[in-house]
Structure 1
Amino acid sequence: MQRIGFVVYPGFHLLSLAALSVFEYANLATGDPAYEVELLSVAGGAVRSSIGVTVATTKVHSSPYDTLIMAGGTAVVSSPPELIEELRTAPDRCRRVMSICTGAFVLAEAGLLDGRRATTHWFYTRELAARFPDVKVDEDRIFIADGAIWTSAGACAGIDLVLALIEQDLGATIARTVARKLVVYHRRGGGQSQFSELLDLAPKTDRIQRALTHMRRNLQMELSVAQLAKVANLSPRQFSRAFQAETGQSPAKVVERLRAEAARLMIEQSRHPIDVIARQAGFADRDRMRRAFLRAFGQPPQAIRRSLRGEPIDIAVSAIEP
Structure 2
Amino acid sequence: MFVYLTDVWKHSKMPANSNSINRYLCLVSVLFCLNSQLTAQIPQLEESQRQWLGERIFQNECNAHFDCLTSWNEGEEFPSLGIGHFIWFQANQEQPFTETFPALLASYKNLGYSLPTWLTDLSDPDSPWTSREQFLQEINSDKMVELRTFLANTKSVQVDFISQRLYDSLSVILAHSSGNSTAALEETFLQIAHSHPPYGLYALIDYVHFKGTGTNSAERYKNSGWGLLQVLQEMSNRPTTLWSFVQAAETVLERRVENAPLVRNEQRWLLGWKNRLQTYLPTLATLPINN
| Greater length-normalized contact order (CA 8 Å, ≥ 6 residues apart) | 2
Indicate the TM-score class for this superposition, using the shorter chain for normalisation: under 0.3
Structure (1 or 2) with the greater strand fraction: 1
Asked which structure has the greater CA Rg, the reply is 1
**TM-score (norm. length: structure 1):** 0.24
**Hey, which of these two has a bigger chunk of helix by percent?**
2
Q: TM-score, normalised by structure 2?
A: 0.26
